[in-house]
Structure formats: structure tokens, C-alpha cells
Amino acid sequence: MSKRLRIGGAIVAILFLCLPAVGQQREQSGGRGGNSVGENGYREAADYVIKRLGLRRKSVVVDIGAGDGWWSSKIAEKLGPKGVIHAGEVNEKKVDTMKEKWESVPQIKPYLCPTDGTGQEENSCDLVFISKTYHHFDKDTHVDYLRHLKKVVKPSGRVVIIERHADLASGRGKEHAWQPGLLGQQAEQAGWMLLRCELIPGSDHFMAIFVMPEAFTEKLSKRLTATKRKQSKGDQ
Ligand SMILES: C[S@@+](CC[C@H](N)C(=O)[O-])C[C@H]1O[C@@H](n2cnc3c(N)ncnc32)[C@H](O)[C@@H]1O
């Protein structure tokens, strides 16, 4: 056998041995392949994301476009037994699969949600989490959807949206991406205030966190009143 053939054979063997590891990594990180750098990195950085959600033990979370419930399960781990995660899906089959898959995790409550809203009651949620689903919303309905979220989220709550950054996507990935700037404009139009927006480490996805400006102005005015009171006591 020639030297060139032996080297070629060795390379093929190495690639063959590596394939199961790549498959396993994709499985762990969401199971979908792709040609984009950091395709599933947004899942691999789950701990980083979860830390920034502002969760409390008794939080009520709505995971819109929950898919296989992967994020719902990560959030459930963080919340513990007292939290609730409504895992909303427009796809009935996915709802049924989630019900089976997460049967032993009672905090996760899969449900069939409408396409134009969460289906949740007013002032009932601490967090609405929307991962890779915002771009699926019908054209020109995004601002209305965000306005709806202002009704269902409690004044102290937040909305977290994860999408692939449109400038970093290529090929067909562009159809499943969003501009953070456009999201910011739409959220502001709906009355939300951007708390932070950042790339998720190791991925081409960004995470935007929105809060209600009213919650801050209320806190601020309470603090100002308290300070004024202290000052006037000191003057007496
Ligand atoms: C790309 S998957 C994201 C799954 C999961 N959130 C994640 O980050 O891996 C998008 C999901 O959103 C669902 N979906 C599409 N439009 C929706 C809508 N208007 N409301 C709720 N879910 C929607 C789809 O059925 C699909 O399961």
C-alpha cells in the first residue's frame, strides 16, 4: 500500500470514529444540525441564560414555542417544586409529546396556545420566555403580541427573547433569525424597556431582556419620597 493511501485511510478512520461524538453533542444540545457556528450554543450556555432570567422559587413562567420542552425543564430545575412553567405550543403533537416526556415533572404544564397570544390570564406571569419562536410570529403582529405580554406579565416581571442574530446568520439561517435593533424598536413601541441585550457566549444567538418602565419609576419615586422625608426630619 502506498504511503498516500495509508494516510488517506487513517484520516477516514479518524473521521468515522469522531462521528458518534458529534451526533451525541447535537443530541445533548437540541438535536438539530445546521451549518451555522454556534447553532445550538444557545442551549449549551443554558446555565448562563438561566442565571439572567430573574427567577424566584415561586415564579410563574410561560415558555412560548416550548418545542420539546427542553428550556422548560431547565427552568423547572432552577425553580424547584414551587414554581410553575406553562409550556405553550401551537403544535398539538408537540404538546402531547411534552405531556408524556415531562410527566414526572409536575411543574411543567404543556398546553396548546393560540398563535397570537399566550392564552394566559392578565397579570399572572413573572416571566415570558420566548426562545427561537419570535421570528415565527405572523408578519406584522409582533408589536401586538408584545402589547399582549404587557397585560399578562406582572408589573415586576420580564420578557426574555432569544433569537439568532440576523447579521451572524447565513444562507437559510437568515430566515430563522432576527435583528436585535428591530426587536428593541418593537418592544419599545409596545411599552417595554430594554434591560439588557447580549450575544449568548459561544453562539450566534442573542438574548434580550425587557422589563416594564413603570416598575422602575414606581420604585424610584418611592425612594425619592423616602429620601425627602429623611432630609426634612434632619432639617427639623
Ligand atoms: C425553533 S422551535 C423553538 C423551540 C424551543 N423554544 C427552543 O428554543 O429550542 C419554534 C417552536 O415555536 C412553535 N411556534 C411557532 N409559532 C408559534 C406561536 N405563534 N406561538 C407559540 N409557539 C409557536 C413551533 O411549533 C416550534 O415548536
The answer, yes or no, to whether any atom of ligand 1 lies below 6 A from the CB of 32, is: no
Q: Whose CA is nearest to atom 22 of ligand 1?
A: 65
What is the Å distance from ligand 1's center to 67 Cα?
Answer: 5
Containing structural domain, residue 196:
41-220
pTM over 0.75: yes
| Same domain membership, residue 50 and residue 79 | yes
**6 and 73 fall within a common domain:** no
Give the number of other CB atoms < 10 A from CB of residue 119.
15
Same domain, 86 and 188: yes
Q: Which residue has the cell 432576527?
A: 178
Q: How far is the CA of 5 from the centre of ligand 1 (A)?
A: 48
From the CB of 136, is ligand 1 less than 6 Å away?
yes
- The string of pLDDT tens digits covering residues 87-110 is 999 999 999 999 999 999 999 999
pLDDT, residue 138, reads 97
CATH of the domain at 200: 3.40.50.150
Q: Are 6 and 60 members of one domain?
A: no
Any ligand 1 atom below 6 A from CB of 83: no
Both 15 and 75 in one domain: the answer is no
The answer on pLDDT for 3 being more than 60 is no
- Check whether residue 97 and residue 179 sit in a common domain: yes
> How far is 236 from 231, CA to CA, in rounded Å?
9
pLDDT in tens, 177-226: 999 999 999 999 999 999 999 999 999 999 999 999 988 777 777 778 88
> What is the overall mean pLDDT for the chain?
85
Three-state secondary structure of 125-186: EEEEEEECCHHHCCCCCHHHHHHHHHHHEEEEEEEEEEEEECCCCCHHHHHHEECHHHHHHH
Give the count of domains, the chain. 2
Residue 224 is predicted with a pLDDT of 82
